[in-house]
Homo-oligomer: A and B are copies of this chain.
Amino acid sequence: MTPPPTPPVPGPGAATSLLTDQYELTMLQGALASGAAGHRSVFEMFARRLPEGRRYGIVAGVGRFLADLERFRFDQAELDFLADRRIVNDVTLDWLAGYRFSGDVWGYAEGEAYFPGSPILVVEASFAEAVLLETLALSVYNHDSAIASAASRMVLAADGRPLIEMGSRRTHERSAVAAARAAYIAGFATTSNLEAGRSYGVPTAGTSAHSFTLLHDSERHAFASQLGSLGTGTTLLVDTYDTLRAVRTAVELAGPELGAVRIDSGDLAAMAKEVRNLLDGLGAHQTRIVVTGDLDEFSIAALAVAPVDGYGVGTALVTGSGAPTASLVYKLVARSDGDDPRLRPVAKRSVGKPSRGGRKWALRRRSAEGLALAEVVTTQEPVPGPHDRPLLRRLVAGGEVVAHEPVQAARERHARTLAELPPTALRLSRGEPDLPTCFE
């Protein structure tokens, strides 16, 4: 037997600095050599476009990024790896050993809507300090915002009915935790993921799978065991053999206080109707019907007229419903000249990937009634009109994180933000971004 591979187990407060592309470090080395490493620089994160057909995006990952930033340092283990593999030279290693981010960061708050060109993160620091954050910032925001953006549409489609996030098994085990968090911010009621419950306080849910029924000699025995152990308020999974027969058995055993039944296969709309009629006929008027099984925002919307009380969503949620990444980029938009401390705009001229130079501000222009009208992005600090809402808030001041908040705050912000978007935002159909982005 060969020896076990080095287990990739992060230590307590493990450094996050190697969750990074190598070129961030080789650029640092080059900049230290050229003397440009200390040039004051502004990097911005933004999306050139939304995923095809989407009308808005939801910013998520802010809290996770800030927590990761506080652990972004090069301890001996990281330095040893870089030295052993000769990834950077000794000058660079010395610099990294003392690295702590000391710059300033502004950004859209978590749960906020964004549009093409919205400067959702603005990092001002020396080039050296700011470039190192590129990969990690993008990883966190691209993943979490993709999930939250998809989740937000599912919540709209569900129109007040609760959604259970249950996609953990369809994505990387740590992405699953972040996905549950992002879904909760965007309005999901609960998650199946226990670590999301522990790490972020997301409410958790879950009762049983088909294997529990198959384990017992009869469905009746399985149901009785579950009811005895979890109480009559539990959710019984009724589609292992014959759904209607299972519903009868369930009510027979639990009485009309049975909490819910779950249907995971077949024609969910038709079956929900049959099950509702049967439950009502048995006097179980309060027993809820939860449906699961490859749901996305469109199939949820299609079930609007079905007698369904809740939806469980898995694969489509954790894969961003067709858009598993948010296409956010992190670009140098301004820098000083070394001797001259004033920032001047920079932008590359590549074909098809234009960038807009200059440091940005943003506000949401709103009508007197509070309806969002436009995303206004400026290269000078704007004077907000009486109904405008500035979108950048300070996240990090002189290297210190100043914007920790519980996920509940982001969840409430998401609800408020959606409420001010024009009605077109509520459409699931493919369309253009819901607000125009005006560069002023």
Contact = CB atoms under 8 A, between A and B. Distances in A.
Contacts of A332: 210-211, 214-215
Contacts of A207: 23, 26-27
A378 interface: no
Given A325-B170, A351-B265, A404-B4, A27 B208 contact: yes
Interface string A208-230: 11111111110001101110111
Closest 10 CB pairs of A and B: A22-B206, A23-B206, A34-B225, A138-B169, A8-B199, A211-B332, A265-B350, A172-B175, A266-B351, A174-B174
Given A26-B208, A225-B30, A325-B315, A139 B172 contact: yes
B206 A21 contact: yes
11 contacts: A3-B404, A6-B198, A31-B215, A33-B229, A34-B222, A81-B194, A81-B198, A131-B212, A170-B325, A171-B172, A266-B350
A154 to B, nearest CB: 17
Interface in A332-361: 332, 335, 337, 346-353
Contacts of A327: 315
Interface stretch (A63-71, A114-122, A369-377, A419-427): A63-71
A21 B41 CA distance: 44
Interface of A: 1-14, 16, 18-27, 29-34, 36, 39, 41, 43, 63-64, 67-68, 70-71, 78, 81-82, 85, 87, 89, 127, 131, 134-136, 138-140, 142-144, 166, 168-178, 192-195, 197-201, 204-217, 221-222, 224-226, 228-230, 239-242, 264-267, 315, 318-319, 324-325, 327, 330-332, 335, 337, 346-353, 401-407, 409
B215 A36 contact: yes
A21 B166 contact: yes
Contacts of A177: 8, 19
A352 B169 contact: no
Contacts of A10: 9-10, 14
B197 A85 contact: yes
Given A30-B226, A168-B139, A171-B142, A211 B331 contact: yes
A350 B63 contact: no
A214 B346 contact: yes
Given A9-B12, A172-B174, A214-B348, A225 B19 contact: no
Contact of A11 (B11, B199, B318): B11
A26 B229 CA distance: 9
Contacts of A216: 34, 36
Contacts of A9: 10, 12-14, 71
Contacts of A67: 4-5, 7-8
Contacts of A31: 212, 215, 225
A295 to B, nearest CB: 14
Contacts of A405: 2, 5
